[in-house]
Structure 1
Amino acid sequence: MAEQEQLKKGPLDGITVLDFSRVLAGPYCTMVLADLGARVIKIEKIGTGDDTRAFGPFVEDQSVYFSCFNRGKESIVLDIKSPRDRALLERMFDTADVLVENFRPGVMDRLGYGPDRLARTHPHLVYASISGFGHTGPYSDLPGYDMVVQAMGGIMSLTGWPDGRPARVGTSFGDLGAALFACIGIVSALFRRTQDAQGRRVDIGMLDCQAALMETALARCDVEEKTPTRTGDSHPSLAPFESFEAADGRLVIAAGNDALFLLMADALKRPQLASDPRFLTNDLRCRNRAEMVTAIEDVTRTAPVAHWIEQLNEAGVPCAPINTVDKLFDHPQLVARNMIVNVDIAAGSFRTAGNPIKLAGHVDLHPEDALTAPQLNEHHSAILAELLGDGPGALAGAHAAQPNDEQEP
């Protein structure tokens, strides 16, 4: 039993994260840290808390949006203008390991909790900031939202069909990319701290992350001296690497090298495709993509998607149906890897994605686990008792002894 409990704690057990972030990029980052075993204490504003508590969809009065990205965390409401709450925050800084915030640059400084000040008073803290453009450079003061950085970072110019308008990626690619880079920075800083006992600043700009996730688009543009554009669902450098029409829908075939193209031709019962002079190499197939697509679809249109998936899988050719979101809940591979989990809320539960980081020696999130997101200020009393000692009975006196000056810090 003790060994099982130890496995459940996760690799970041013992790490405490103070989460000042809200909406998506910061909360997603701290959700990943919580899934890996960190204790995440969400510092929320009076009255409304995280903005996403008011985002739909709702089950009764609980936001599914908020609950998705704040599972496994604790919530405490603090009035940053109140000296007594500021004193409590100082105690929290003493014992925390990581601070995560995603305000615009300068906000935390004005509150008195900027990185330079905390580096002096709490040098052990890893201080992670996520913002639209980072804390340096000419755009650092501008507001940055997912849609803004998708547009500015170039990804919208590559998304969609050649004869259509630029399109936003279907999920918040800018926020989620920044969140994951922030996790990498935080874990790297924590590792370094084991060597020199010093915390570090992690400064994540969403636009930087968009540029880093552009794959080869920048290099291709520089080398070819030609601006990449939208290519629909095809890969600009590989063929076939796109979707094809079948008798009852479309399927993806990703035969991204010459050997796979040979296997694909055999699976389609058209071996002559592999010897066609137009399709002998990947470069030739890219140049003659339209003719190649026509030749393949002459075959795939004759049978349903399921038939071709079976034939191609048997031949070892990467392929897939184009699933709608509802198909993911019961997908056998996702279910087998505990990637569909339940989050409990007062009115029941809902299903969402689990933790994709699978680590040996760590018990994974499981569909039967009681995952919950905190009610606003749910853990206030417990956290105060822990900070001030002697249990909740001593808290009233401790609070009464604190001044309650509401002046701006």
Structure 2
Amino acid sequence: MLSTALEGIRILDLTRVLAGPYCSMILGDLGAEIIKVEAPGGSDETRTWGPPFKGNVSAYYLCANRNKKSLTVNLKTNEGKEIIEKLVQKSDVILNNFKTGTMERLGLGYDHLKELNPDLIYCSITGFGESGPYRHLPGYDFIIQAMSGLMSITGDEQSGPQKLGVAITDILTGLYACIGIQAALLERSLSGEGQKIDLSLYDSAVSALVNIGSNFLVTGNTPARLGNSHANIVPYQTFQSKDGEMVIAVGNDRQFTHLCHILGQPSLARDGRFSTNAQRVENRDELTKILQKLFLTKETAYWKEQCRQKQIPFGPIQSLEEVRKDPQLHARRMFISCPHPKEGQVEMIGSPLNLSRTPVALQHHPPEAGEHTEGILRDLGYDEKTIHQWRLQKKI
């Protein structure tokens, strides 16, 4: 019986920054062997993206690189290409996020590598995909948020377009890559054949428009920026309490009736302007002003207790300090600590994946650049003299 879900799967990870490394970290958490490939000295830009740093390691790099081995190799040399070709023959997946055409120029395109290993799953992550008029453009999360429509619906009319507080299109694309890779591995177990996965940040971001995108396709109406309000549900937004900010998310008319009783205004639920969600959406501004005035009369803790007693979805807007102390997250092991050979204990956000028989595991700290190069090359049959010579020549 396997001790982890992806035990025995080897993934050759040629990605850097966030989308690809986030994908491979998730697969590593699930037990796959991840070999992170960088240029000699380390070429993942996030190693230097700081402050903050934990000693000499950037917090950014730490967030997406645990459970990996590190191999440094110069892909522009014949020796570097040979090393990758040998690893491909012993790997299940190769993951890259170079610009379209780069892998082919390196002699490592899909058509060549599948000849070496017909079982190979080849996953390419680019800004705009490997087809279409934008295929050669570089893609960065911020640019993709702008182009995809996500920024056009984030913020309010006063703020103008806003990006999300994290690189959400990188995260989404990393998750889609995980889904695609695991689907291809599952299909391979039936067909015995590998395949190529072509993912783009742009496609992934547009897919995240979900109901707002559907609203537009159905009506042709350009959505307004509603800030912290919901396009289709009211009240489903932020409110000020007497001492802070909070979110109320009323999902149906029954919950709205309970909310009106909590507020001491049961007649609001019978008011023709507000009795159904459709009417509340039509009269959003009027209802919001009434509710906001009522919420200002009590503290957040009071509304939290009242709403939870009536099973009305409620959440205080918490700072990260409050999130860090939340007992629910500690019970779920969403903050973990990992020993690092140079920087002592490193604290990280844990995995949300809870598998009952094959749980995720923290097996290795985010590696130093080239930390495992010699061991990997020895396993491929290279001798110490060759490895030493290549290191002097900066080929590894």
What TM-score results when the alignment is normalised by the length of structure 1? 0.91
Contact kept? 1:131, 1:205, Cα under 8 Å: yes
1:300-319 matched pairs, under 5 angstroms: 300-319=295-314
Q: Distance in 1 between matches of 2:233 and 2:366?
A: 43
- Structure 1 residue identity aligned to 2:247: V
Segments of 5+ residues of structure 1 without an aligned counterpart are 389-393
Partners of 1:400 and 1:137 lie apart in 2 by 44
Contact 2:148 / 2:202 at 8 angstroms: preserved in 1? yes
2:25 is aligned to 31
| Residues 1:110 and 1:370: Cα distance change in structure 2 (over 3 Å) | closer
Aligned to 1:391: none
Equivalent positions of 1:9-408 (< 5 A) are: 10-56=4-50, 57-345=52-340, 346-365=342-361, 371-388=364-381, 395-397=383-385
2:210 alignment partner, SS class: coil
Alpha-carbon deviation of 1:239?
A: 0.6
Q: Is the 8 A contact 1:343 1:373 kept in 2?
A: no
* CA shift in 2, pair 1:370/1:35, >3 Å: closer
> Quick one: distance in 2 between partners of 1:229 and 1:204?
29
Distance of 1:399 and 1:297 partners within structure 2: 68
> Aligned-pair distance for 1:175?
0.7
Deviation at 1:400, TM superposition (A): 8.5
Indicate the SS of the match to 1:295: helix
What letter is aligned with 1:25?
A: A
Partners of 1:28 and 1:102 in 2: how far apart? 12
Q: Distance in 2 between matches of 1:165 and 1:294?
A: 22
Instruction: Determine if contact 1:342/1:370 at 8 Å carries over to the other structure.
Output: no
Gaps of 5+ in 2: none
What is the distance in 1 between the residues matched to 2:45 and 2:268? Answer: 56
Alignment partners' CA distance in 2, 1:189 and 1:355: 23
Q: Measure how far apart 1:61 and its partner are.
A: 1.5
| Counterpart residue identity of residue 249, structure 1 | G
How far 1:370 moved relative to its partner?
A: 6.6
Q: Are the counterparts in 1 of residues 98 and 126 from structure 2 also a CA contact under 8 Å?
A: yes
Contact 1:19/1:42, CA 8 A, preserved across alignment: yes
- Sequence identity (%): 37
Q: Is the 8 A contact 1:239 1:255 kept in 2?
A: yes
Distance 1:137 1:128, change over 3 A: same
Of the structure 1 ranges 342-351 and 132-141, higher mean CA displacement relative to structure 2 is found in 342-351
Deviates more, 1:85-94 or 1:314-323: 85-94
Matched-pair contact (CA < 8 Å) for 1:268–1:311: no
One-letter amino acid of the counterpart of residue 24, structure 1: L
How far the C-alpha of 1:33 sits from its partner, in A, is: 0.5
Judged with a 3 Å threshold, the aligned counterparts in structure 2 of structure 1 residues 400 and 228 are, in CA distance, closer, same or farther, namely closer
Q: Is the 8 A contact 2:85 2:113 kept in 1?
A: no
- CA 258–399 in structure 1, closer or farther in 2 if over 3 Å, else same: same
Quick one: structure 1 residues 55 and 110, their matched pair in 2 at CA, closer, same or farther if it must change by over 3 Å?
same
Measured in 2, the distance between the counterparts of 1:225 and 1:395 equals 65
- Give the drift of 1:406: 10
**CA distance, structure 1, for counterparts of residue 202 and residue 144 of structure 2:** 5
The TM-score normalised by the length of structure 2 is 0.94
Moved more, 340-349 or 209-218: 340-349
Count of residues paired in the alignment: 392
Change (3 A) 1:284 1:67: same
Q: Which amino acid aligns with 1:213?
A: A
- Write the deviation string for residues 303-345 of structure 1: whole angstroms up to 9, x where unpaired: 1001100110011000000011221112111111111112433
Q: Is the 8 A contact 1:82 1:405 kept in 2?
A: no
1:265-295 Cα offsets, whole Å, 9 max, x none, are 2222322221111111001001111111122
User: 2 CA distance for matches of 1:351 and 1:254?
Assistant: 32
Once the two structures are superposed, residues 330-371 of structure 1 have per-residue CA deviations (whole angstroms, 9 ceiling, x without a partner) of 211111111111243322334332111211212344xxx575
TM superposition shift of 1:53? 1.1
- Aligned mates of 2:127, 2:79 — CA distance in 1: 32
User: How many Å apart are 1:397 and its aligned residue?
Assistant: 4.6
Letter matched to residue 170 of structure 1? G
Query: Which stretch of structure 1 is more off in the superposition, 369-378 or 202-211?
Result: 369-378
CA contact (8 A) 1:75 1:380 kept: yes
Deviation digits for residues 35-68 of structure 1, max 9, x if unmatched?
Answer: 1111100011013331111111212211221122
Deviations 1:232-290 (CA, angstroms, capped at 9, x unpaired): 10001001100111101111000111111112122223222211111110010011111
How far apart are residue 89 of structure 1 and its match? Answer: 2.0
Whether contact under 8 Å (1:340, 1:353) holds in the other structure is yes
